[in-house]
């Protein structure tokens, strides 16, 4: 069973700080990695994707991937109260007829305090 592990939190940071969210995965053959943000009562929204080792930056968000350590992280700089949400890590595997199946972690609840 392929697994994706995240700290459930809650992770609490003050406004303006850097929030660091972490994720590990069990399948060494995984190739694609995603971060989703989910506000309470809403559906998940894709915020970052990363495919190669290293960092990928998009605005205040940076995704970091280390395939050797089977580790992916999301950094949120200058955290805002509007960033308060659950963050889901997702990893692409391959299963049967679909090359698009994702396995999700259980999510980390982030709270940004004004």
Partner 1 sequence: DVKVTQSSRYLVKRTGEKVFLECVQDMDHENMFWYRQDPGLGLRLIYFSYDVKMKEKGDIPEGYSVSREKKERFSLILESASTNQTSMYLCASIISLGRGYGYTFGSGTRLTVV
Tell the smallest beta-carbon distance from residue 63 to partner 1 (Å): 12
Of how many residues is the chain composed?
114
Chain residues in the site for partner 1 (CB under 8 A):
32, 34, 36, 42-46, 49, 51, 88, 90, 95-98, 100-107
Cα separation, 109 vs 1, whole angstroms: 24
Given the complex with partner 1, which of 17 and 61 has the nearer CB atom? Answer: 61
Tell the smallest beta-carbon distance from residue 73 to partner 1 (Å): 18
Tell the smallest beta-carbon distance from residue 90 to partner 1 (Å): 8
How many CA atoms, within 13 angstroms, populate the side-chain half-sphere of residue 24?
A: 5
Cα separation, 15 vs 113, whole angstroms: 6
């Amino acid at each position: 069973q392929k697994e994706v592990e995240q700290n459930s939190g809650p992770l609490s940071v003050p406004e303006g700080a850097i929030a660091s969210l972490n994720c590990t995965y069990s399948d060494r053959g995984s190739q694609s990695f995603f971060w989703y943000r989910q506000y309470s009562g809403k559906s998940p929204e894709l915020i970052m994707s990363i495919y190669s080792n290293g960092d990928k930056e998009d605005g205040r968000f940076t995704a970091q991937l280390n395939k050797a350590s089977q580790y992916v992280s999301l950094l949120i700089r200058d955290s805002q109260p509007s960033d308060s949400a659950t963050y889901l890590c997702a990893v692409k595997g391959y299963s049967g007829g679909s090359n698009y199946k994702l396995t999700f972690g259980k999510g980390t609840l982030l709270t940004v305090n004004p």
